[in-house]
Amino acid sequence: MSAPDLRESGDEEREEGGNEDPKEEAEANDLERGEVGIKSKNATITDPPMQFHMSRMQRLSDTNPLRLVINGATRVPTASPAQPRVTPSQPRATPSPAQPLPTPTPQQSLTLNSRAYTNRISLFLFLLHMVVAIGLICFLVYKGVQGLIEAGPTQKKEKRVLEYFLPQVEAASLLSITLAFLWQKAVRVWPQIMVHFIIWSSFVMSLSAGILLICFQKPPTDGIGILFIAFAIGNGLYCCWVTHRIGFCCKVLVKSLEPVSKFPDLNQPTYWMLGAGFMWMSVWILAVIGSLNFYLPPLIVIVLVLSLMWTAEVMRNVANITVSRVIALYYLRGMQSNTQFCFQRALSKNLGSACLGSLFVPAIEALRIVARGLNLLEGEDEFMFSCAHCCLKVMDSIFRHGNGWAYVQIAAYGKGFVKASQDTWELIEKQECLKTIVDADMTSAICFLTGVCSGSMCVIIVAAWTARVHEEFTATISLLAFFIGYLMTRIAMALPHACVSCYYVCYAENPDNRLFDETIPERLSMIKSGRDAVAPTPRVRRLST
Q: What is the pLDDT averaged over residues 113-127? A: 88
CB 347 within 8 A of CB 519: no
- Residue 68 neighbours by CB under 8 Å, 6+ apart: 57, 58, 59, 60, 61, 74, 75, 76, 77
CA-nearest of 472, 459, 457 to 219 is 472
pLDDT tens by residue, 253-268: 999 999 999 999 999 9
Cβ-contact 502, 324 below 8 angstroms: yes
Residue 355 pLDDT > 60, yes or no?
Answer: yes
DSSP notation for 378-426: -SS-HHHHHHHHHHHHHHHHHHHHS-TTHHHHHHHH---HHHHHHHHHH
CA–CA distance, 360 with 510 (Å, rounded to integer): 29
At residue 9, does pLDDT exceed 60?
A: no
Helices (H), 257-376: 268-290, 297-333, 339-347, 351-374
Over the chain, what is the mean pLDDT?
Answer: 79
Banded model confidence at residue 162, pLDDT cuts 50, 70, 90: confident
Residue 99 corresponds to which amino acid? Q
Euclidean distance between CA atoms 494 and 485, whole angstroms: 15
Backbone angles phi, psi at 75, to 5 degrees: -130, 155
The predicted structure's pLDDT at residue 102: 39
Angle between helices 417-430 and 351-374 (to 10 degrees): 50
> What does DSSP say about strands 36-37 and 59-60: parallel, antiparallel, or unpaired?
unpaired
Q: What percentage of the chain carries pLDDT values higher than 90?
A: 50
Region of poorest pLDDT, from 82-96, 218-232, 277-291: 82-96
> Phi/psi at 438 (nearest 5 deg)?
-65, -40
Residue 59 has pLDDT above 60, yes or no: no
The number of helix segments (H) and strand segments (E) in the chain equals 21, 5
SS3 state at 78: coil
pLDDT for 249-303, tens place per residue? 999 999 999 999 999 999 999 999 999 999 999 899 989 888 888 888 889 999 9
Strand order in the sheet with 59-60: 59-60, 68-70, 73-75
Enumerate the β-bridge partners of residue 60.
68
Rounded Cα distance between 416 and 11, Å, is: 41
User: CA dist 284 to 131, 361, 472, 507, Å?
Assistant: 14, 24, 22, 41
Q: Identify any residues that bridge with 335 across adjacent strands, giving them in sequence order.
A: 37
Per residue in 319-331, pLDDT tens? 999 999 999 999 9
% of the chain beyond a pLDDT of 70: 74
**Who's near 455: CB < 8 A, 6+ residues apart?**
176, 481, 482, 483, 484, 485, 486, 489
Does 409 score more than 80 pLDDT? yes
Segment 39-68 shows an average pLDDT of 43
Split at pLDDT 50, 70, 90, the class of 384 is: low
Task: Give residue 349's identity as a one-letter amino acid code.
Answer: K
CA 198-201-207 angle, 5° bins: 140
d(CA 544, CA 498): 44
Residue 29, C-beta contacts closer than 8 angstroms, at least 6 positions apart = 35
pLDDT single digits (tens) 226-239: 999 999 999 999 88
Query: 530's torsion region: left (phi>0), alpha (psi -120 to 50) or beta?
Result: left
Q: What is the SS3 assignment for 126? A: helix
Helix H or strand E encompassing 5: helix 3-17
For residue 75, give the H/E element and its range.
strand 73-75
For range 186-210, the mean pLDDT: 93
The three-state DSSP-derived secondary structure of 154-186 is HHHHHHHHHHHCHHHHHHHHHHHHHHHHHHHHH
* Residue 127's pLDDT band (cuts 50, 70, 90): very high
CA atoms within 13 A on the CB side of 452: 26
145-156 burial, b if ≥16 CB within 10 A, otherwise e?
eebbeeeeebee
- Predicted confidence at residue 357, as pLDDT, reads 94
Residues 6 or more apart whose CB falls under 8 angstroms from that of 264 comprise: none
DSSP-assigned beta bridge partners for residue 70: 73
| Torsion angles phi and psi, residue 355, rounded to 5 | -70, -45
pLDDT above 80 (res 399): yes
Angle at which helices 382-401 and 417-430 pack, to 10 degrees?
110
Distance CA 507, CA 438 (A): 11
pLDDT of 20 strictly over 90: no
Q: What would the pLDDT profile of 486-496 be if each residue is shown by its tens digit?
A: 999 999 999 99
Tell me the C-alpha distance between 537 and 241, whole Å: 10
Give the pLDDT band (50/70/90) at residue 92. Answer: very low
Is the model's pLDDT at 71 over the cut of 50?
no
Query: Is pLDDT above 60 for 23?
Result: no
Lowest mean pLDDT among 364-373, 412-421, 475-484, 509-518: 364-373
Beta bridge partners of 59: 69
Is residue 118's pLDDT more than 80? Answer: yes
Kindly provide the b/e burial profile for residues 455-479, where b requires at least 16 CB atoms within 10 angstroms of the residue's own CB.
bbbbbbbbbebbbeebeebbbbbbb
